[in-house]
Structure 1
Amino acid sequence: MNSIRIRLFIILLLATGVVWFSAFFWIQQSTRAEVERVLDARLAESGQMVSSLISDRRIDVARGATLVEDQSPHTSGPTAGYSHKLSCQIWSLDGELVGKSGSAPTDSLSGQEPGFSDSLVEGEEWRVYTVINEELGVRVMVGDSHSVRDRLVRDVTTGLVLPALMILPVLAGLIWLSVRSGLRPLDRLAGGLSQRTADDLSAVDEIAMPREIRPVGAALNGLFARVNAQREREKAFTSFAAHELKTPLAGIKTQAQIASMAPDAATRKTALAHIQKGIGRTDRMVRQLLSLAALDGPEVGTTQEVDLSVLIRDVVQDLSRLAAAKNVAISVPDPSPLSVQTDPTLLSVALRNVVENAIAAAPESSEVSILSESTTDSIAISVLDRGPGIAEADRSRITDRFFRGPDASGEGSGLGLAIVETAIKRLGGQLQFAARAGGGEVVRLEVPPSMTCMTRRVYGKADD
């Protein structure tokens, strides 16, 4: 059952029913006790009255039993069932029946003890009050049938139940109207949200909501804020990507026109070299955009055991042509095998972009070093270069998307380190930057111990 309204209605109706039936049971029991008390008092008064009258010689002992019957109401209509039901017997102390009322059985109503008692006479249960008159030597017994008492209690409770049963539908209707009224703020909230356009991410008014619904409003406002921030990031991403792709494409188009109109082979060769360079930059940017889009999506990849030395070797091999074009050597000291429990795709993407940035920043005929180590606290891969390093003013923004410092070369797109940070965060690790002694930069990728096999091994040791 998915409807809150129906669920609340049923819960309230059941709760009301439980209370109602509990009250009915209590009324029934209390009514029975009160009826028993009143009828017992009636029996005692009748018994004492008969004993007193025959003691005062106001009536013959034999006729004393009929006095109780004469005092019973002779009525018609709804109370007719209670007429002539009070019975009386007068027994001598020797056990001889002296007199009885017409409705009384012939067998003794009770035993020998005075006071109240319950007995079974001729298959019917009786409530009896016994008075012993020592002066006259008789025992007066006055009783009424339990069936009469039960009928009286049943009629009283029925008189209470029937009106209550007639009220139940009215009560159910009132509960339904109350539930509808109580849930009306949710209906208004749902109606307001359904009328919004896809671009309307403004906050809902929490103050106007009832206190119980304010957490829903706060959660919706938080969701709207996150969606709006994500949409702004996507818009900025699209705008920056279009701008960054437009520049190399315009350059390629210009160089293609120059090559087509070149008056000599040297000019044509130069134009083709520029075209090749622009295509390479565009290709790198497209790859970076695809990587960033994949990392921004749902969780990808699976954790598995990876030989870190093999992963580093594959990255170095992929970038060997780029390094050779700049006459930059890539050094991986002591590539000892090390098993790592991690996501190979994310770690490879992060390491590739760091090494690619290091090659781009490194001067010609220099070296880029990749050092790896595993400790009880973390596993770390450090990439060291001898480039100009990162300016202190740019360090807080170096991982922003499309950010390029004022001293950056025209080759980069400002996406590499943003990709690295996103991938490392997916791995639950950290990305750290530090200036290298003697010039250059050290970029350190750390993965938490929970994703590594705790094998202590050092690939290489930094020289500074």
Structure 2
Amino acid sequence: MSLRLRLFLILTGATLAVWLSAVLWIEHSTRAELTRVLDARLVEAARMVSSLVSRNQIALNRDDPARISLPDSADYEHQQFCQIWSFTNGLVGRSDGAPRAQLVPANATGFRDITQDGKALRVYTIVDPVLGGQVTVGDSLAVRDRLVHDVISGFLWPGLAILPVMWGLIWLAISTGLSPLARLARELEARRSDDLSALPATTTHPQEIRPVAAALDDLLARLAAARARERDFIAFAAHEMKTPLAGLKTQAHIARRAEDSAVRDHALQAISTSVDRTDRMVHQLLDLAQVESRERRVAPIDLETTLAQVLGDLADVADRRNIGLALDTGERPAAIRDDPFLITIALRNLIENAIQASPLGSEVLVRVGRTASGIRIDIRDAGPGLPPSIARVAHEKFVKGNNVDPRGSGLGLAIANDALMPTGAEIRFEMQADGHHTIVTLPHVPEPGPEHDAG
């Protein structure tokens, strides 16, 4: 359902509800006012007849009841009727159209709603002490209902004629009011797919649309930044892949033409180095793609087991550089709840970076400890560390530090940062007396209670 149709249905429904409420209120108030006025007429008529009887201006006779004339309305004949009853002589006077049967019990006074001969009547009775009887004046409730019906009809039919006109004006007003949204939609439809510039003249939009336009501008800006990062990533990746591939081609050409075994061995070693660098870069690019596309899945993680597995996977890398690997998990094994895949990839890249940055024959020590806010993983190496200018942008892709190994691609820290960022972890670099430290602080996530386990 469109917004225009939804607003139209809401407004027309509200208009119809208000109009029907007005009809009901007018009907109720008209009936109450009509009852008050006609009841007052009944009281006046009863007092008038009683006064005439008291002054003997009406001749009363049981055998031939006196005829009493009451003023009739031109539109509603026999609107009122009257009976005069003597407590001793019975019916002694009545108006034309008045029933002959006694309408109220003897000595009854005041207003009553009764049914006589199948007709609903409203009567008013007073006791005349001079007469020694009752004077009863009444009118038909059907006449009263017809009066109310005529009033409501006079209001209802013009309203029914006006309502369609009002609904048409509501539709026109909604269409006019939503025209800025339609104009904004047309502007977006007319854009090229590669046009991520800000929307023009956002200040001219109505106040209600400005947040939408501002949010679209922010989204377009973020999309433009993401596309720029993708272009840069592709360009950097192509450049980094081109370099080892060119080296492979050159060294293969040298190895094929070399007559000296030493030259040939050197070329083959260079080929092996290029292959290792290309292999590492391909693996890191795959890791980066997985990290960026993965949805976080939280599960219990035994850090001691995870770190031991990571160090085992990196043993060949460390052996090639004659680097010792050591793990210190403290007295109590550290357990956390997080995404095992992201944590493993982050730790592997950070430890591999430490191995690549360490001089030959040194050691990389991984120490795990607890802090007030979570778990601290300290990766110490004997490398030169990151200069402050590099440390500030180390989370960006293809940023290289002072690696002694030329196989570095500048992706390790970027992968670790992207993997740990959703977990709320923090990575910082410190140069201390015993070497360079890469410190990862993982926030503490409490274990789920019984109510979670039950679900």
Which one is further off, 399-408 or 429-438? 399-408
Query: For 1:324-362, what per-residue CA distance to the aligned partner results, in whole angstroms no more than 9, with x for missing partners?
Result: 222222223578765443333222212222222222221
Pairwise CA distance, 1:217: 1.9
Alpha-carbon distance in 2 for matches of 1:409, 1:228:
35
Give the superposition deviation at 1:6.
2.4
Per-residue CA deviation, residues 50-89 of structure 1 (Å, 9 max, x unaligned), is 44555556664469953425x324x5xxx3xx21342122
Distance of aligned partners of 1:233 and 1:136 in 2 relative to their CA distance in 1, 3 Å threshold: same
Residues in 2 aligned to 1:56 and 1:217: alpha-carbon distance in whole angstroms: 89
Asked if the contact 1:342/1:451 (under 8 Å) is kept, the reply is no
Q: How far did residue 23 of structure 1 move? A: 1.0
The answer to whether residue 205 in structure 2 is matched with residue 206 in structure 1 is: no
**More moved, 84-93 vs 350-359:** 84-93
Question: SS at the partner of 2:69?
Answer: helix
Q: In the TM superposition, what are the counterparts of 1:33-432 in structure 2 within 5 Å?
A: 33-53=32-52, 60-61=59-60, 66-69=67-70, 71-73=71-73, 75=74, 79=75, 82-110=76-104, 111-113=106-108, 116-130=111-125, 134-135=129-130, 139-204=134-199, 205-300=201-296, 302-333=297-328, 338-375=334-371, 377-405=373-401, 410-432=406-428
1:434, CA displacement in angstroms?
0.7
Could you state the TM-score of these two structures normalised by the residue count of structure 1? 0.86
Instruction: Tell me which amino acid in the other structure corresponds to 1:198.
Output: S
Aligned residue number for residue 21 of structure 1: 20
- AA of the residue aligned to 1:90: I
Q: Find the residue that maps to 1:207 and give its secondary structure.
A: helix
- Structure 2 distance, partners of 1:422, 1:100, is 104
CA distance in 2, matches of 1:28, 1:404: 86
Q: Secondary structure at the match of 1:332?
A: strand
Counterparts of 1:191 and 1:415, CA distance in 2: 42
Q: Secondary structure at the match of 1:255?
A: helix
Q: Does the Cα contact within 8 Å between 2:123 and 2:137 map onto a contact in 1?
A: yes
| More moved, 244-253 vs 400-409 | 400-409
Rounded to whole Å, the distance in 2 between the matches of 1:451 and 1:197 is 49
**Alpha-carbon distance change, 331 to 51 in structure 1, aligned in 2, over 3 angstroms:** closer
- TM-score normalised by structure 2 residue count: 0.87
- Give me the CA root mean square deviation: 2.8
Q: What count of residue pairs does the alignment treat as equivalent?
A: 443
Unaligned runs of 5+ in 1: 454-464
1:298: Cα distance to partner?
3.6
Equivalent position of 1:10 in the other structure: 9
Q: Which runs of 5+ in 2 are unaligned?
A: 449-455
Q: How far, CA to CA, are the matches of 2:51 and 2:311 in structure 1?
A: 124
Residues 342 and 29 (structure 1), Cα distance of their counterparts in 2 relative to 1, 3 Å cut: closer
Give the Cα–Cα distance (whole angstroms) in 1 for the partners of residues 283 and 159 of structure 2: 77
Looking at structure 2, the residues matched to 334 and 322 of structure 1 have their Cα atoms a distance apart, in angstroms, of 22
Measured in 1, the distance between the counterparts of 2:26 and 2:78 equals: 28
